[in-house]
Structure 1
Amino acid sequence: MSADLAFSKNRRPGQLLLRFLESGHALFAAEPGRLLAPLIRFLREFHQSGQAHGAVMPGRLLVLPGGDWDLEFFKSRAGSPDALELEVYYPDGGGPTASNLDLALEIRQRRDIRALAAVMHLIITDQPPARRARRVQKLADHPLAQTWPATFIGLLDHVLDAGPDDPPPALTDWMQALGVEPPPIMPPIADPPASDDGLPAVWLPNGMIGRPYAVELPALEEFAGGDAEGAARMGITDGLPEGLHFDAGLLSGTPQEAGEFEMILHLPQTGGGSRADRRTLHLMVNPSPQSLWKNLPSDPVAPFARPDTDARFLVGHGSGEDGRLTVIGASRRGRSHAHVGGFRDDDLGMAWHPGSGWYVLTVADGAGSARFSREGARTACAVVQAYFSELEKDGAGESLTKRTETHAQCADDPSAAQVLKSELCRHFEAAALQARRSLEATAQENQAELRDFHTTLITVLLHPLTDGQWFAAAFSIGDGAAAVIGLPGAVPGLLLTRADSGEFAGQTVFLTLDQSLATPEAVAARVRMAVLPGFEALFLVTDGVSDPWFPSDTALADPAGWSRLWREIQPSLLTVHDSPQAQAEALLDWMEFHSPGHHDDRTIVLAMSPLSLSSPATPRA
């Protein structure tokens, strides 16, 4: 039995909030007033009794079946300040006088309310809020907040932006913002009542549609006398959910219907019969989170409207016996945007220039908090592609090709590497600045600000060399990643980019910010290059893919993680290996994978060698 589930004869089991949100996040969004008001009401009454909780945090919150709170558990986890902590509340240094104690209580209650706002932010967005001084996105601008009551979201923004000395809104205002009328007195917390038939009730851990479920029922020895023969005689009648079965004390299976179910657990009576040989079992089966997400179309006549998905391909040539290179790309609107009819803010680009042999691959991720970021991402990819196309047309790219070949032939010559990197930096910077200037003009034309077009950008240049080798150069601003896997030799893969990250989740750098290209050194730090002896697959991904697959920078840099990602994708492509467009569409379908807390747009550009789809990928030693 998992540690976050607790059985008791006298009280309901529950899950800590963070664990509950893995499967029950959408329940709060569906019924915010019913599910959140009891917790707010409890804290209000706790404060009215002359106390402060002091420990309002996810680790002190237990969620019961159906999304209700175990308020008795929360009450029992209240903290209290020690004498040293209380000293900070005594502004006159006079110690615990009556007036100072009142002030200390007021300050601690304010802290409770700010902490509760942080918990609400976590429930709504699956992410804790940034520290006040570093908040760059209002909760009201977050896609997952769009279905919540606007007044309640505005109230939370007010609390999270307020300074420590600013009085927060009263908790009665919180309930009214949720559409709930606060009663004058909170009803007392009581143990769950017995069932209507008078039998003792047992509350089982929550289940979920489509997820395997298995629970050994509590008090097995009481029912069966502790022997296997007695356990085998146990039975359940009345209300067994579809998909579950019961055998020898084990309730297991895969639930197929949602709802709250009441079952009678009993033993065949061997004598005069006793009601103590029966229990009423309660089981809450939650709907699958995927089924609660809406898929509303975006507005086709809005400014900068665009399709909600994109899938495309190209086939070019390289070197070696079979120099064919297939590039597929797919971009899908995230669930958080689809749920409210928002736009896909990611974009991609790909080109092969037969004259020089260069491939230019791009992905971009528009900031969710920027209203026209979708156009920022589209423009970034389009302008970068146009820049390198012009190099091809006027012959200016010949110098880059020659220096690439010189570097490959003189791999140990640092001066050749430096000359090549300097030219790469010049071109990458020029392309990025051209994209920024284009966005500045678009912003002016639409009476908008440049920040309305915030976007990241990843560009990879790929060029075939002799004997099956390849040269790769990458340039990145913001998050997401590019990596290559399936390299011959001892090193199975290589990360080609370094993500920009801040001090809190979701913070990054954008093409539209001056700091991204502030100095030559800043530009050079964004450029990486490598001579590859060959490869199976080269990835460019936005953070909608990299975040769920690579939870840390260390994981992002681990080639084994990228190999696992490739092995996950590869079977979908093998079934349609003779059609690149079908492969792109298969990649688009694969990106519908569900990962709790990760609902952003997802984009992948994938370059594949001929051998990469000849058989399933295997891990390299």
Structure 2
Amino acid sequence: MDKLEKSPKLSFQLANAVVGKPYAEKPVLLTLSDKVVVIEAIDVRSEAGLEFDFQTGQLVGQPLVAGEFDAHISYYCLSQGGKTALTTVLSRFYINADPRSLWKNIPSDSQQLYAKPDSASQTIETSTIKILAASQRGRSHAHKGQARDDDFFINSGENWQIALVADGAGSAKYSRYGSQLICQTMGKFLSDLLSQSFVLSDVENGFRAALGESIAQLANEALAQHTSIKDYASTVLAVVCFYDVPQQEYVYLSLAVGDGVIALYQPMTQQLQLLNQPVTGDYAGETCFVGKDSVLNIASLMKFVRTKISIPCLLMTDGVSDAFFDSDNALKNANVWQALWQDLTQNQALVDEKKLLAWLDFWSAGNHDDRTIVIVEPKNYE
């Protein structure tokens, strides 16, 4: 029997894998060769969760554990004289940990000043409207055992709804309470206003008064704690929706201080109407927070829209909006909004508050801030 020609010494490289992520890769030949190279087998330790698929020549499976692994690649070459002898070489590759598994979830201190739950949710439902609200502490805060800085407020009455979301500044030590105090103060003020007879100008003036009252409450709290009002810094997005009976129209009046998004979005027609323009600071990436300037400039921070039909209204802090809208153009793109709405519906997040809260745990690389969303959804709006 003729002795087989010796195979040339070749080098291969396997792509790295990620724990839990399906893997199907062929070794890449790193050495130049004028022969056809055939992979006969790839042997890897069984705990890797990968095996060789002879039909495709791939290493396949769902990686089980992270670490560095040796792959013993057996191959031969085809030449005019037939095939060369089977040869095995060593190639190393890595199975990386699932990034999600690297995040810790340390409860915040329930005994600290201004302690509050790491998540919250609420539902208000009537015969004509459903309001869902959910707020989830971000992974960056959970990893360090820090409190949730976001907050929200929702309420509903006869022919009116109120929704607010707020994002406490990460650099402000008491912003977790600043966002809460702003939402509760403004929410209660506007609820009291709308519970009486009112017209549009009353609501416009009410926004100014509610914002001013929240700033006064922040100042009082700062004084009581012998600290600066800046320690309570927070954004706020607010919407009042009501039905104008004489005009037979729906009115949406919004107020926005800082970043985040407020929008009307009709998924059946992809009709989109943004109700805010994120308010930024003096430097790139800087936002604005509730303060005296926001009261003085309130006219530029407000917007109102009239429609003949009731349309879903969404408010979200930047922990949600940044994950779905990576630019101003994306914010104006109805297709991107449709993708968001489909993600909500496919995950049944519009069914109830607990499912909406669970949805907020979605993975988005690089976006690990607190997440808060409120959806004011009329019934039978299709």
Task: Give the TM-score range, shorter chain.
Answer: 0.7 to 0.9
> Does 2:372 align with 1:603?
yes
State the match for 2:45 in structure 1: 239
Instruction: Write the mapping of 1:123-522 to structure 2, written as runs, cut at 5 A.
Output: 202-219=12-29, 225-226=35-36, 231=38, 234-239=40-45, 241-247=48-54, 248-267=56-75, 273=85, 277-316=87-126, 324-354=128-158, 357-392=159-194, 395=196, 398-400=197-199, 404=200, 420=201, 423-465=202-244, 469-486=249-266, 492-502=271-281, 506-512=285-291, 514-518=292-296, 522=297
Separation in structure 2 between the aligned mates of residue 212 and residue 432 of structure 1, nearest angstrom: 51
Does the residue aligned with 2:141 lie in a helix, a strand or coil? Answer: helix
Alpha-carbon contact 1:482-1:495 (below 8 Å) kept = yes
Structure 2 residue runs without a partner (length 5+)? 1-8
Q: CA deviation at 1:316?
A: 3.3
Alpha-carbon contact 2:15-2:27 (below 8 Å) kept = no
Cα gap change, 1:365/1:207 in structure 2, threshold over 3 Å: closer, same or farther? Answer: same
- Give TM-score, length-normalised by structure 2: 0.87
Separation in structure 2 between the aligned mates of residue 244 and residue 598 of structure 1, nearest angstrom: 34
Cα gap change, 1:500/1:459 in structure 2, threshold over 3 Å: closer, same or farther? Answer: same
Does the residue aligned with 1:285 lie in a helix, a strand or coil? Answer: strand
Cα gap change, 1:239/1:348 in structure 2, threshold over 3 Å: closer, same or farther? Answer: same
Separation in structure 1 between the aligned mates of residue 328 and residue 373 of structure 2, nearest angstrom: 19
State the match for 2:4 in structure 1: none
Separation in structure 1 between the aligned mates of residue 264 and residue 157 of structure 2, nearest angstrom: 21
Alpha-carbon contact 1:494-1:559 (below 8 Å) kept = no
Cα gap change, 1:385/1:344 in structure 2, threshold over 3 Å: closer, same or farther? Answer: same
State the match for 1:568 in structure 2: 343
Provide, for residues 18-60 of structure 1, a one-character-per-residue CA deviation record: whole Å limited to 9, x for no partner: xxxxxxxxxxxxxxxxxxxxxxxxxxxxxxxxxxxxxxxxxxx
> Does 2:322 align with 1:590?
no
Alpha-carbon contact 1:537-1:609 (below 8 Å) kept = yes
Cα gap change, 1:504/1:541 in structure 2, threshold over 3 Å: closer, same or farther? Answer: same
Provide, for residues 356-412 of structure 1, a one-character-per-residue CA deviation record: whole Å limited to 9, x for no partner: x2211110000011000010000010001111133245x3xx242xxx4xxxxxxxx
Equivalent residues, number: 367
Cα gap change, 1:488/1:339 in structure 2, threshold over 3 Å: closer, same or farther? Answer: closer
Q: CA deviation at 1:202?
A: 4.2
Alpha-carbon contact 2:13-2:29 (below 8 Å) kept = no
Alpha-carbon contact 2:40-2:75 (below 8 Å) kept = yes
State the match for 2:5 in structure 1: none
Alpha-carbon contact 1:425-1:523 (below 8 Å) kept = no
Separation in structure 1 between the aligned mates of residue 53 and residue 333 of structure 2, nearest angstrom: 44
- Give TM-score, length-normalised by structure 1: 0.55
Q: CA deviation at 1:201?
A: 5.7
Separation in structure 2 between the aligned mates of residue 484 and residue 206 of structure 1, nearest angstrom: 43
Select 1:538's aligned residue among 313, 338, 355.
313
Higher strand share: 2
Provide, for residues 456-488 of structure 1, a one-character-per-residue CA deviation record: whole Å limited to 9, x for no partner: 001100013469852111101000111111177
Does the residue aligned with 1:236 lie in a helix, a strand or coil? Answer: strand
Separation in structure 2 between the aligned mates of residue 565 and residue 533 of structure 1, nearest angstrom: 25
Bigger mean CA deviation after superposition, 281-290 or 525-534: 525-534
Alpha-carbon contact 2:169-2:233 (below 8 Å) kept = yes
Higher relative contact order (CA 8 A, sep 6+): 2
Alpha-carbon contact 1:261-1:283 (below 8 Å) kept = yes
Does the residue aligned with 2:144 lie in a helix, a strand or coil? Answer: coil
Alpha-carbon contact 2:152-2:183 (below 8 Å) kept = yes
Cα gap change, 1:611/1:444 in structure 2, threshold over 3 Å: closer, same or farther? Answer: same
Question: Letter of the aligned partner of 1:256 in structure 2?
Answer: L
Question: Letter of the aligned partner of 2:254 in structure 1?
Answer: A
Separation in structure 2 between the aligned mates of residue 549 and residue 302 of structure 1, nearest angstrom: 33
Question: Letter of the aligned partner of 1:237 in structure 2?
Answer: D
Alpha-carbon contact 2:41-2:52 (below 8 Å) kept = no
Alpha-carbon contact 1:333-1:602 (below 8 Å) kept = yes
Q: CA deviation at 1:598?
A: 0.5
Separation in structure 1 between the aligned mates of residue 108 and residue 58 of structure 2, nearest angstrom: 47
Separation in structure 2 between the aligned mates of residue 537 and residue 316 of structure 1, nearest angstrom: 15
